[in-house]
């Protein structure tokens, strides 16, 4: 048996936050359903709440241990700075560590935070799996864990308190829908997909969503799908390999799971003697300023936004925890899409 929260309390709280012009208002929230079990007496027992209050008092600031996955892209740099700036703005003490793209190092950092007895742990997991043990250690220590940008796949979802970030599957759907709506009728398209880090939440979601977006349209076929690591260099290397293997034939569209890999693919296509955006269409995800600049000059054709500025939402969630408020299980940030015309309108005000 599971509880079904009504959402009334949360609706009023967010309405007040909007009226007060608070930072970090999400686009969508998903509330947590609690599992009900039966005790030895036969009476129903609610599961322990997934939200644990930080132990910071009035005499000291809240301490957040933040384990960043790495600095693999321009998006990640913007995400990183957003968290640092928001902590400073809200008077939260941030203990920052960079895992440098190593899951083993990231797990070691989380254990370090547990030993330090921080009030809240936040991190962007490198991959979805392999976190059960360390998250159970955090829960046993009474430290709530907030996932920033990426989700985890664990057997017990009460091991983490909330996820703050994007709907990666919807990002993929948006890319696929644009392609089906824009492509020429009666023409067949071969698609090469350059994925992000294997088994990471963004790569899994963007792949699944894109396939859903083009499903049922016989004009489109994914002819190659290769795995990168969200870096510009991997995008360039993989695109170069694809072009050499195919001689540039049969690849009409390249769908990249992030901007950095797309910009690397642009360079490889140019080296091969083809024109990116014309001879080969390119679709990307992130909407960094560098990608919008490439979109404006026609080297990219469409960019789906993935908002890295999650710091205000993360620190607001930490503040809410400190006040004893239960967080939604998912806090989804607001995002859009960019064509060439929309990129021209927004490039001057782009923050990252």
Mean pLDDT (whole number) for 122-147: 97
- On average, the pLDDT of the chain sits at 89
Kindly tell me if the per-residue pLDDT of 29 is higher than 60. Answer: no
Mean pLDDT (whole number) for 321-331: 92
The torsion angles phi and psi of 203, rounded to 5 degrees, stand at -65, -45
Same fold, 8-165+308-334 and 168-306: yes
The torsion angles phi and psi of 148, rounded to 5 degrees, stand at -110, 115
pLDDT of residue 17: 56
Tell me which fold the domain 8-165+308-334 belongs to: Rossmann fold (3.40.50)
Give 60's pLDDT tier (boundaries 50, 70, 90).
confident
Bridge partners of 63, per DSSP, are: 93
| Closest of 83, 16, 123 to residue 315, by C-alpha | 83
Kindly tell me if the per-residue pLDDT of 49 is higher than 90. Answer: no
**pTM for this model (two decimals):** 0.83
| Closest of 261, 229, 259, 223 to residue 242, by C-alpha | 223
Kindly tell me if the per-residue pLDDT of 50 is higher than 50. Answer: no
Q: Which of 52-56, 114-118, 230-234, 267-271 is predicted least confidently? A: 52-56
Distance of alpha carbon 207 from alpha carbon 175, whole angstroms: 10
Give 66's pLDDT tier (boundaries 50, 70, 90).
very high
CATH 3.90.230.10 fits 168-306, yes or no: no
Residue 277's Cβ-side half-sphere holds a number of Cα atoms within 13 Å equal to 19
pLDDT of residue 55: 57
Q: Which 3 state secondary structure label does DSSP give 191?
A: strand
Domain extents in the chain? 8-165+308-334, 168-306
Kindly tell me if the per-residue pLDDT of 177 is higher than 70. Answer: yes
DSSP letter at 280? B
Mean pLDDT (whole number) for 234-257: 97
pLDDT of residue 5: 54
pLDDT of residue 19: 53
Kindly tell me if the per-residue pLDDT of 1 is higher than 60. Answer: no
């Amino acid at each position: 048996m599971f509880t079904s929260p009504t959402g009334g309390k949360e609706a009023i709280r967010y309405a007040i936050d909007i009226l007060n012009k608070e930072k970090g208002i999400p686009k969508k929230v998903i509330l947590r359903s609690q599992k009900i079990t039966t005790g030895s007496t036969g009476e129903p027992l609610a599961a322990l709440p997934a939200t644990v209050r930080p132990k910071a008092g009035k005499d000291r600031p809240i301490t957040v241990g933040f384990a960043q996955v790495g600095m693999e892209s321009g998006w990640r740099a913007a995400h990183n700075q957003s968290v640092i700036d928001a902590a400073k703005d809200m008077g939260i003490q941030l203990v920052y560590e960079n895992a440098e793209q190593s899951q083993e190092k990231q797990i070691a950092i989380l254990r370090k935070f547990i030993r330090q007895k921080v009030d809240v742990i936040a991190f962007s997991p490198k991959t979805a799996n392999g976190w059960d043990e360390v998250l159970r250690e955090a829960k046993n220590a009474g430290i709530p864990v907030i996932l920033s940008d990426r989700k985890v796949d664990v057997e017990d979802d009460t091991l983490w308190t909330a996820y703050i970030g994007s709907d990666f599957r919807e990002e993929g759907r948006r890319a696929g829908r644009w392609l089906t709506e824009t492509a020429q009728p009666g023409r067949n398209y071969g698609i090469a997909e350059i994925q992000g880090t294997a088994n990471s939440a963004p790569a899994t979601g963007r792949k699944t969503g894109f396939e859903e977006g083009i499903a049922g349209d016989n004009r489109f076929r994914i002819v190659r799908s290769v795995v990168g690591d969200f870096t510009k260099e991997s995008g360039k290397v993989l695109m170069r390999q694809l072009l050499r293997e195919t001689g540039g034939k049969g690849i009409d569209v390249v769908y990249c799971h992030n901007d950095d890999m797309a910009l690397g693919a642009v360079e490889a296509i140019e080296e091969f003697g083809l024109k990116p955006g014309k001879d080969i269409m390119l679709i990307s995800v992130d909407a960094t300023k560098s990608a919008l600049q490439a979109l404006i000059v026609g080297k990219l054709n469409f960019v789906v936004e993935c908002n890295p500025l999650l710091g205000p939402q993360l620190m607001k969630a930490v503040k809410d925890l400190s006040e004893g408020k239960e967080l939604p299980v998912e806090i989804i940030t607001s995002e859009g899409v960019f064509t060439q015309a929309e990129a021209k309108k927004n490039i001057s005000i782009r923050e990252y």
